[in-house]
Chain A
């Protein structure tokens, strides 16, 4: 009942600072592209991309939890929104990226060379 009347201004600015910081770090890495990260793979993806994706997920977490005020919602609502999304997106990505990679292999290694 009471949280509706408490001002969250301080938290909002903290989160803004955090999001700005993460974006700055991302952009800096995007411009420099250090070879130490860019040229080394972990699970077929280079470390730099892992870094970008993890930082993006951290940003997403703060936007949803702080700005969209998910942290103040009931657990039932949180789960109803977050779990279907995580499950379906992971499923979709798995299917499409595996298939995309397969098609790439076909073009690369078999007789079909180019097909619009």
Chain B
């Protein structure tokens, strides 16, 4: 089975030119790069686990965060889109390994075709991730952050989420967004939320069927919904209106959730992006016949290792961000 050609004999073990692990220098180095990169991702995911265990009772439910599917507006479709992304990435892994396989048989056209399909798969995946980010940043319902730093979301009597726009009052407020063009000096500010705290409070008082939901999970692993009286008390502590997510605030719950989401999926997305770039370079080399002349498609194999690794990382990110 082993494709090893050990050129050295016993006297020349240290003279170079032999392959102690039966893999070429390039492949071996790719493997060790993958080991170190896998440890980096393990570090990120373990840090995510740390933060989650630290806030185990108030961590957001992923089912409620990622509910969008393209062209299905207002339909709650938890998990479907990210499952689709997973399939796309696994499939691009398959085309990659088919390219490697065709390379072993020195079939240039087949290698080129499969490499091309892999690149397309990668592009679709990165595009999907961008779309997922867009939805995450934009938010859906909006929430209130209290002076104590905890987050209040709104539900109706049946426990369904209610968006701020559905109940917030419209008060006459003169508040103009400061932009650079209007500033006296280099001044601007973060975007002003659509509603002020006072508007949300007034609207809440006017809608007796709206309740506040806090971050804490109950025994049934559902977020606790406060009674009307408790809701009014908690809403009195409101400090700011949150719409969508950024690195310091997010409407989904624990601030760290958004930080880790941006950081880990961003770092993974960057890996996919660099994988696509490398794949494109190798693809053109295949077309130019570089490896045909070299007599070996090992370069496709090496970039294939990297691509599969990216897929492997996604499998874990998928599990720990969306499922567990």
Contact = CB atoms under 8 A, between A and B. Distances in A.
A30 B1 contact: no
A97 to B, nearest CB: 5
Interface string B25-44: 00010011011001100110
Given A31-B79, A77-B22, A49 B53 contact: no
B217 to A, nearest CB: 12
Nearest to B220: A39
A5 B105 contact: yes
Interface in B140-186: 148-150
A16 B101 contact: no
B34 A12 contact: no
Contact of B55 (A8, A72, A99, A104): A104
B51 to A, nearest CB: 7
A80 B318 CA distance: 26
A60 B87 CA distance: 14
Contact of A9 (B22, B56, B98, B309): B98
A108 B58 CA distance: 12
Interface string A15-42: 0100110011011011101000011000
A72 B38 contact: no
Contacts, number: 161
Given A16-B91, A81-B35, A74 B23 contact: yes
A109 interface: no
B35 A85 contact: yes
Contact of B22 (A30, A56, A73, A116): A73
Nearest to B43: A92
Contacts of B38: 85
A63 B28 CA distance: 18
A91 B301 CA distance: 31
A30 B3 contact: no
Contact of A60 (B22, B53, B315): B315
A53 B311 CA distance: 16
Given A7-B105, A23-B87, A74-B21, A63 B315 contact: yes
Interface of B: 1-5, 20-23, 28, 31-32, 34-35, 38-39, 42-43, 46-47, 49-57, 63, 78-80, 83, 86-87, 90-91, 93-94, 96-98, 100-101, 104-105, 148-150, 220-221, 304-305, 308-309, 311-312, 315-316, 318-319, 322-324
Interface of A: 1-9, 12-13, 16, 19-20, 23-24, 26-27, 29-31, 33, 38-39, 49, 52-53, 56, 59-60, 63-64, 66-69, 72-74, 76-77, 80-81, 84-85, 88-89, 92-93, 96-97, 99-101, 103-104, 107-108, 114, 116
18 contacts: A4-B3, A4-B104, A5-B105, A20-B87, A24-B83, A38-B221, A52-B319, A60-B316, A63-B311, A67-B304, A74-B21, A74-B22, A76-B22, A81-B31, A84-B35, A93-B46, A100-B54, A103-B53
